[in-house]
Chain A
Amino acid sequence: MYPTRAEALGRFMKKGMCLFTLTLVVMLSPTAESQQVGGVAPGPAVGEVPFIFLPSPTVADADAARQPIPRLPDGTVDLTGPWVGGGSNVDIELEGGLKAGELPLLPWARELRAKRNKAEEPYTACLPMGVPRVNPYPWKFAMSYTPKGLTHIYLLHETGDAGAHRVIYMDGRAHPADPIPTWWGHSIGRWEEDTLVVDTVGYNDKFWFDSRGTPHTEQLHTVERYTRVNWGRLRHVFLLDDPGAFSRPVTLNFMARLLRSDLKTGGGELMEFICLEDNQYGAAAGIRPGTGTSNK
């Protein structure tokens, strides 16, 4: 069920942006907020970038193991979701479980991160947020049902344009030798027992890992490992390998929480959210999105 207008007000507010959110952001400190959403879910942007952040309701810790992990008719784990969190948003270093300063950025990349202005992140201009970023809105796996089995898995984000859809090829193909750099790269997936392993290359260098501006280059190679540890939780172990911007590969840990079916917020479904429809943040505010590391 979709909510009535009145019921949808909460979500409507979540999706808007206006001045009183400054107050809201101050009231909801990042620490308290991220704990509420699971310790690893995205928190509100800080400083001069006030996003409204009313968290999507998720299954509580006490209920996470209350139901069995669903499986497809062939025994494969059903990863559908929708999930909330499970990636970076504000600061990949802290959200990924590292201590401040532990992310092995090369000096130039550290410098670029310090220099980047939050207001110029491409995400605020409704451009795709890239991997492993998530926003405060839910996302889901669409596991395609075909006579040939599971040939593709699509990742759908509630932000229809900034998140859009991402494809993971599950048919055993290899990466192309020379992929054209794109926002979501070229992703191939396989199962290692109950873990979905997604290997991606061919990224452009335009998206930021977080609103802090953590950069990468076109040499980025990522390996995402998704394990549904119980009904309500999805572990994401993220290998970040980019010799262009990092001195060594680094592994980050995230946990996504199952969206709770709540009539006030879409009844457990992804709602329609077109960032470009009325973006008061980007061009309307005179802000031009930043460019990639190649144009530093």
Chain B
Amino acid sequence: MRTLLVMIVASVIAIPLFAQGLVSGQGGGGEQTGVLGPVNALGQDIRRPPPPTDPPPRLPDGTIDLGDGLWIGGGPGDMASGLPPGELLPLLPWAKALMEDRERRPSDDPYYWCLPMGVPRVTPYPWRFVQNYTIKPTHMFILHEAIIHTYRQIFMDGRKHPAELDPTWFGHSIGAWEKDTLVIDTVGYNDKFWFDRKGTPHTEQLHTIERWTRINRGTLVNAITIDDPGAYSKPFTVTFNARLAPPGDELMENFCQENNQFGIAGGHTHPFAR
């Protein structure tokens, strides 16, 4: 019965996502589809087995395990594609103008300069959750294979956000479980990263609430509330789903800064050097 319920919930959540073209495992979401299926970062068509649909694994203490494998996707390649059908991003006029300006200068995307992509953006490369194994788990980390091979830190020990923060790429994240959903609340972002390749903007007032629900073994749904009165007229929620990579896959080493042919090598001017 429980399995059946999970499947029904999964279908209800998954159908609108598929309808929007956000097939899990597609990477950034809202991307091209080729003859064999989604077209990946290198332009090749890829064919994958369907993700497993059995119940998600649990840790010895009963918590859902998010860290037993690699995930692909779960965030925007195009922020607006995560909205419910018919909705538009509630951009303030200046933010809309900024986006139009960025459209003319796509090489300004800090992502292409090997800088962190911030939250909730994902790359076409896999990433994973790591729950630190201590007497009581106090930290979770999100490790990305790319675009820089770095990590994001989430405090799970019940602390609050500090009153005043130095703005950073990944902000200050505190996490808690609401039943089987991991809720990550983050403030203290800088305004430098772009939400997606389209340059969807934000300000330092950004506050994100991510709700990660592993609806079955192979699918992790991320419903993110974006609350940024500096750039948007009201908070909104976008939904993306991540797909479990095949068992045995591991994060490979990827250092964007080792041989980046896009930035200076590509004849572009550093966006922060203007």
Contact = CB atoms under 8 A, between A and B. Distances in A.
Interface of A: 1-5, 8, 12, 70-73, 78, 80, 125-128, 142-148, 150, 152, 154, 156, 160-161, 164-165, 167, 169, 182-184, 269-270, 272, 274, 276-278, 283
A57 to B, nearest CB: 18
Contacts of A274: 115-116, 148, 150, 169
B132 A143 contact: yes
Most chain A CB within 10 A, of B57, B133, B135, is at: B133
Given A5-B166, A274-B116, A144 B130 contact: yes
Q: Interface extent on B, as a size class? A: 35 or more
Nearest to B60: A147
B96 interface: no
B186 to A, nearest CB: 12
Interface string B56-94: 011110000101100000000000000000000000000
Contact of A283 (B59, B139, B264): B264
B150 A154 contact: no
Contact of A164 (B115, B164, B255): B255
Given A127-B255, A154-B143, A80 B148 contact: no
Contacts of B164: 4-5
A189 to B, nearest CB: 13
Interface in B123-172: 130-135, 137, 139, 141, 143, 148-151, 153, 155, 159, 162-166, 168-170, 172
B100 to A, nearest CB: 26
B165 A2 contact: yes
B113 interface: yes
Which of B130, B148, B163 counts the most chain A CB atoms within 10 A? B130
A150 B115 CA distance: 31
Interface in B26-79: 57-60, 65, 67-68
Nearest to B166: A8
Sort A-B residue pairs by CB-CB distance and give the 9 closest, nearest first. Answer: A145-B133, A160-B150, A143-B133, A164-B149, A272-B168, A145-B131, A182-B253, A2-B162, A161-B148
B250 to A, nearest CB: 7
A295 to B, nearest CB: 14
A161 B67 contact: no
Contacts of B170: 272
Nearest to A4: B164
B150 A142 contact: no
B58 A161 contact: no
